[in-house]
Structure 1
Amino acid sequence: MTGMRPVIAGTTMPILEITLDPGESVVAEGGDVAWLSPGMQLDTSTAHGSGGQGGFMSSLKRVLGGGQLFLTRYTAPAGGLVAFAAQLPGTIREVQIDPADNFMIQSGSYTASTPDVEVSVALQKKLGAGIFGGAGVVFQKLSGNGTAWVQLAGEITEYELAAGQSLLIHPGHLAMFRAEMPLEFASIKGIKNKFFGDSLFLAELHGPGHVWLQSMNAAKLAAAIEPYLPQQSGDKN
């Protein structure tokens, strides 16, 4: 048995294709599947994405983090493949998860994982509920043991912050970072902002640790195309 074989293919809008050996499984948000082999067994449950621990409370934490209450487990009794397509132009990255390697990812970035990876809300002490900032930026935590695949939007810039170093980041561009890195939020005076008046709301991420920043985010993409969308008129005539 050779084991699970993931392939990330494509450029601007990549595809994650995972080939499973007989009996192997992968977990994902159900509606995200693009194509799969006949005979694949699908099991949708609140217990999936809970790091093998199960439990309704774990699934509620996932919902608070911007994810779905139910995740789907794809199992290949005789082997097969399942594929997931990126939802925004960008990249799909594979990350290895274990007790020493936990990651925070922006809501909407989670694509799929092996069954023993836990997908949950990212709690921050200063912002208890995990809803970051007036613009509603939310992060999820990947923990447990196994492999996860995440979607990052646009081009990716990476920084390794040393102890004592920090970086101020627009929350929408903060794609992924190591979970042990302290994160704070503050309004920066001097820049006009449509959400916060005369201040700009930024995240400050502290080292040591690694951070992945994305050049695109869904809110800015939506704002860019909004002027070109048909406008609904209140006049039915």
Structure 2
Amino acid sequence: MKYEIKGETLPVVIMKLDRGESIFTESGGMGWMSEDIEMSTNMEGGLFGGIARKLSGESLFMTTYKSKKDNATIAFPSSLPGKILPMELGSGQSVICQKKTFLCAERNVKLEMHFRKKIGAGIFGGEGFILQRITGPGLAFMEIDGEVVEYDLAPGEVMKVDTGHVAMFEPTVEFDIEMVKGFKNMFFGGEGLFLAKLRGPGRIWLQTMPIMNLAREIIPFVPTGGRD
């Protein structure tokens, strides 16, 4: 499989599939494709698998696209302003990501829900109790809101992050939530009551403009429907 990512603000990944190669995504993720690609939609893993994906932020149904000849074209556009990040995962290699980060992947890649071990991280994490685990082998593509910034945390090194800015992290990274200290910081600091605490070792991927932050900035300018 060959691919290229085009665009800056609203990018798209355009792939060239040879005969027999396949890619899968959640229902509705495909932008356009040539006529030589066969589309198959189903509730992978049965009802339980569909419900599990729904809880982790994906759709009940997954769609697989399989090429019937060499050099067939298929494209998956981003749904929001940001970046498309390709990730080549080795056999058994995983990343943990927030809801809606997964865009598409080769058929060998496994997508499943991931439970946070600590209840506090689930209740106050800003994205719900369930995350997504994406496991290789294979190539996967992720959607990042805004720009992406990567850090490699050393053992014991901590990065405190506004919860919506956490896009992905390696399974070796410990994820927890802590309350902002100080009354004035909590109520007048403008950062919310909780911060994500990421402890190394491992790599983390942070996003600069979470969709909730973007919506908050846009709402004051949205017409309410009244007439002057």
What's the RMSD between the two structures over aligned residues?
A: 2.3
Deviation of 1:174 (Å): 0.5
Partner AA of 2:6 in structure 1: A
Contact 2:180 2:186 in 1 (8 A): no
1:14 to 2:11 alignment:
yes
Q: Which runs of 5+ in 2 are unaligned?
A: none
Q: What is the CA–CA distance in structure 2 between the aligned matches of 1:198 and 1:178, rounded to whole Å?
A: 25
Q: Which TM-score applies when normalising by structure 2?
A: 0.88
Moved >4 Å (runs of 4+): none
Partner AA of 2:140 in structure 1: A
Deviation of 1:97 (Å): 2.1
Aligned to 1:215: 208
Q: What is the CA–CA distance in structure 1 between the aligned matches of 2:18 and 2:92, rounded to whole Å?
A: 28
Counterpart secondary structure, 2:219: helix
Deviation of 1:39 (Å): 3.2
Q: Which TM-score applies when normalising by structure 1?
A: 0.85
Counterpart secondary structure, 2:181: strand
Aligned to 1:139: 131
How do 1:81-100 residues align onto structure 2 when only pairs under 5 Å count?
81-100=73-92
Partner AA of 1:14 in structure 2: P
The change in CA–CA distance for 1:88 and 1:25 in structure 2 (over 3 A counts) is same
Aligned to 1:51: none
Aligned to 2:109: 117
How do 1:20-35 residues align onto structure 2 when only pairs under 5 Å count?
20-35=17-32
Partner of residue 101 from structure 1, selected from 77, 90, 93: 93
Contact 1:28 1:72 in 2 (8 A): yes
Q: What is the CA–CA distance in structure 2 between the aligned matches of 1:92 and 1:143, rounded to whole Å?
A: 18
Q: What is the CA–CA distance in structure 2 between the aligned matches of 1:150 and 1:198, rounded to whole Å?
A: 26
Contact 2:20 2:67 in 1 (8 A): yes
Corresponding pairs, count: 222
The change in CA–CA distance for 1:171 and 1:134 in structure 2 (over 3 A counts) is closer
Q: Which runs of 5+ in 1 are unaligned?
A: 48-53
Deviation of 1:201 (Å): 0.9
Contact 2:99 2:127 in 1 (8 A): no
Cα deviation code 1:82-110 (max 9, x no counterpart) = 10111222211111223452101111111
Partner of residue 46 from structure 1, selected from 37, 43, 47: 43
1:77 to 2:88 alignment:
no
